Chain A
């Protein structure tokens, strides 16, 4: 029997830092490590700051996948249990360790990371939201909307003095009295990974295409309702639903939520400052 040393174990881990939080994936498979290290190249963190560690067990496509293709996320017996067609995972928040069994492809990692971050963020007043985001003039601006609302379009039109954080999934974290937006590796149609940077949020826009550009006020109830529709949330857990609701209300009380009606050309960015 052989025992792996701490250095050997660390060498098998890939620490991925998103939103200032490092989640390490540990696998014996060097080609998979290489694959995910490349996939998250701009988001590799340091093992010393790992918030959570997962041991990853891979199975080859020839192995029959689980029969249930629907995503299930539930808290049971002191830990989170995540299940989808291409992965199963367990995670104990108290010891910050977990186990993943997934198909040997990097796509399941994206989903797992998104789910784990939403669960952690929910208890910290933050969330992931279907939105593009970018930094301009030292402030982050978030552009939220369903598919087709213009997230990719507005990202594509961003002028050179902006830093794109994501064109698909924005990361919002509360720190003290302010909210920060962080870059994410979760890309949409633009197929471009965001920059791993952050900035205080200067505005949250509900995207709507129109014939001219304008910013319109949105009453708090509509703002919160639209925000809630776009927040990523996976767990069937009333306590967490309440946390997300309260987070959305806190956010709306702190960050202006407005409607950005835009005609798809670069002039829309004249309004975003």
Chain B
């Protein structure tokens, strides 16, 4: 299965408040609240780190979950956010990802 690289879109606004990460698309105003696991993936979405590595090194380490289960959840999460343009997904590193990431 091909590797996934994910990067946060620049067309979003995000804020951590009350322990929850809130994300809104600035193009269609879709609003998401991310849980703890999703927040970790979101924060690690730098366009250069493979999703599998984020799952192995961050999700499995921090949340005591097996890799297969965590990978399925991460894939679903990334698919949903990508449908709304919240994250960009590629089979290759997103070289210009620094321009895609918001500054916050």
Contact = CB atoms under 8 A, between A and B. Distances in A.
Interface in A234-264: 238-239, 241-242, 245-246, 249, 252-253
Contacts, number: 41
B24 A220 contact: no
A135 interface: no
B57 to A, nearest CB: 27
B28 to A, nearest CB: 9
A228 interface: yes
Given A221-B33, A225-B31, A228-B31, A241 B24 contact: yes
B13 A224 contact: no
A249 B29 contact: no
A221 B20 contact: yes
Contacts of A224: 17, 22
Interface in B56-94: none
B98 interface: no
A75 to B, nearest CB: 14
A80 B18 CA distance: 36
A238 B27 contact: yes
Chain A residues touching B, range: 10 to 19
Contacts of B20: 219-221
Given A221-B33, A228-B31, A241 B26 contact: yes
Contacts of B17: 220-221, 224, 249, 252-253
Contacts of B27: 238, 241
Contacts of A220: 17-18, 20, 22
B38 interface: no
A219 B18 CA distance: 8
Contact of B13 (A221, A225, A245): A245
Nearest to A237: B26
B11 interface: yes
A221 B26 contact: no
A249 B31 CA distance: 13
Nearest to A252: B17
A218 to B, nearest CB: 11
Interface of A: 219-221, 224-225, 228, 238-239, 241-242, 245-246, 249, 252-253
Given A245-B13, A249-B17, 12 more contacts: A219-B18, A219-B20, A220-B20, A221-B17, A221-B20, A221-B22, A224-B17, A225-B33, A228-B31, A242-B26, A246-B15, A253-B17
